[in-house]
Chains A and B, each alone.
Chain A
Amino acid sequence: MFWNALTLQLGYNATLVTIGATLLGIAAGVTGTFLYLRKRALVSDAISHATLPGVGIAFMLMVLLGGDGRALPGLLLGAAVSSWIGLLCVSWLTRLTRLSEDAAIGAVLSVFFGFGIVLLTVIQTMGAGRAAGLEGFLLGSTAGMLFNDALVIAGGGALTLVAVLILRRPMTLLAFDPEYAAARGINVGRMDLAIMALALAVTVIGLKVVGLILIVAMLIIPPVTARFWTERTDHMVLISGLCGGLAAWIGASLSAVAPAMPTGPIIVLSSFALFVLSLLLAPNRGVLAVYLRHVRFQRRVHMRQGLLALAQGQPIYEAFTVRLLKRAGLAHADGVPTDDGRARAAKALRDEKRWELVRADQAFESAAALYDGLRDIETVLTDDQISEIDQRIGGPQGVAS
């Protein structure tokens, strides 16, 4: 009977978990972007660990008042209050003492977490059966997720997204240039607290799904992933939300297919997989792109050096340079230029002279900024501009025609 009910529920529950987790992932990715840009990612670790005593105290209070100790809204409220206190502790410790923020985070994180574990132990001796759910907040437990729980997550996630939408400009300004933001009248302390409060909201609503130890990953990994793909803040927020949602969706689905798999850790691993893909394959900042760019750059350097050496009749010592020239049909294996090579070499030398003029002339400033000693001058100047420069180079000076 009991098993039948559970199997019938499996489809429904898995759907709930997946939808809830995806919404959470989007909210976490979007919010985490601002945490990352403000370089405060680690604060989220203190926030999440500081939720635990609140969960314990809320449970005790609800039991004392004769209610159901496991009511999710009550537990989350407790978590929010105690992590807010933890957050204030971090900000006070950094402001009023000489402690640096990382030290304050370490202190608050461990003390609150320790206290929370003590409370959980006490609760277990109070009435073992009733407390059974609380450890689930450490690593998340989606097995017994109810429709109302999913609703809490969805509602909280939506509210967080709306708040981010409203505050995105001041938050971006603050993260990029805090002094300018302050000069524009943004209250830096309060806006920082707002960013933290959003992270806190995500943490609290994510407790049920991924648990307090791993929620940090949902706040940090998506923005770091998104950073590989874009140079714009607004795009980064969108990509990060997308990555967070995608990872949560994949992770939740995987853990539903293999029910023994814990949802939270699988979501984190999916997120990590997206991160690794981006790290390797992203077009500009990815490892592969950087490596290829380096190799191409090295070839261009050798090529240009080789051509200039040919133009000036100097010997080429590096075998790699000769090989490159030979492969391009510009030189023979012994380093003697072909006809083609002689022409290209002469052009390279002339380009050097042209660049020299361009860089000395204010009028060509934006072109000069692109100078790297390698670029063909045609790629930055028009034919007219080049012929103008050639007129200045050519012709004997001071001779009237």
Chain B
Amino acid sequence: MSLELAANMGAAPKAEIPTESPLAIRGMTVSYGQKPVVFSVDMTVEEGSMTAIIGPNGAGKSTLLKAALGIVSPLAGQALVFGKPLKAARHRIAYVPQRASVDWDFPTRVIDVVLMGLYRELGLLRRIRPQHMDKARACLERVGMSDFADRQIGQLSGGQQQRVFLARALAQEADLYLLDEPFAGVDAATEKAIIDVLKSLRSEGKTVVAVHHDLTTVRSYFDRVFLINTRKVAEGTVDDAFTPDMLNQTYGGRLATGQIDQLELAAG
């Protein structure tokens, strides 16, 4: 009896995690060497929302995503995906890595990259059939890249490469989309194409989380924010959490007051 009780008590904190949240992170700590980049961070993503992860350079934004996906292994903490351990729900996540993480001279065409999104469906040995090609083409169409299907990926501009990555994520038909700086260094056309796709995903009830740099577009693009500077600073709707006070805390006075005034104007 007492043993059982002890076991239950030990499990108690886990029970607090809302089981249906697309992504629930608890006590996540990641360090490179002896320096924690992410320290004891909790995060609860609301289903059907678009959340921006915001913070200064080196604040652990990308690392938090990578730890949640198991790309880097955390020192402590765990992530639940739709209430399940990562392993059991990994197929419901689509990840869009930073563009710089890839060798763009790799011998592969745009359509091949999108087909990589279908590898779970294809398994190890199944042949690529016309219906797979159609699906991949439809995903390219959605990001406005269907004319580029047969190009070698190195021939694309940065923004076009980013859209191909998004198309690959779309091909996975996931429920949760995690994007690492999708708007970094892209042209205006790409930015619009990407945000349109993300908003349409949200309207289909999917959940979107993106590491985001540009504070001026937060209000128009996202409905929730997650402020982080190694530790979590704030989490909530844009109105509640994206405030000058919280931004000052996050950036530690690195934002000029003028910038914050501008944001307030944009809000007003």
Contact = CB atoms under 8 A, between A and B. Distances in A.
Contact of B69 (A169, A173, A182): A182
B244 interface: no
A231 B109 contact: yes
A183 B69 contact: yes
A230 B125 contact: no
B119 A173 contact: yes
B42 interface: no
B124 A169 contact: yes
Contacts, number: 80
Contacts of B157: 369
Contacts of B109: 231-232
B106 A176 contact: yes
Contacts of A365: 144, 189
Given A179-B71, A365-B144, A365-B189, A185 B106 contact: no
A173 B71 contact: no
Interface string B108-128: 110011001001101011000
Interface residues of B, number: 34
B97 interface: yes
B232 interface: no
A169 B87 contact: no
Given A169-B122, A182-B70, A184-B90, A230 B107 contact: yes
Contact of B95 (A170, A172, A183): A183
A312 interface: no
Contact of B107 (A173, A177, A183, A231): A231
Interface residues of A, number: 30
A49 interface: no
A370 to B, nearest CB: 10
A171 to B, nearest CB: 11
Nearest to B157: A369
A14 B70 CA distance: 53
Interface in A159-217: 165-167, 169-170, 172-173, 175-180, 182-185
A176 B102 contact: yes
A97 interface: no
A166 B102 contact: no
Contacts of B210: none
B93 interface: yes
Contacts of B66: 179
Interface string A67-106: 0000000000000000000000000000000000000000
7 contacts: A166-B125, A170-B119, A172-B116, A184-B120, A230-B107, A233-B107, A362-B189
Interface of B: 66, 69-71, 87, 90-91, 93, 95, 97, 101-103, 106-109, 112-113, 116, 119-120, 122, 124-125, 144, 147-148, 152, 157, 160, 168, 178, 189
Interface of A: 37, 39, 165-167, 169-170, 172-173, 175-180, 182-185, 227, 230-233, 235-236, 362, 365-366, 369
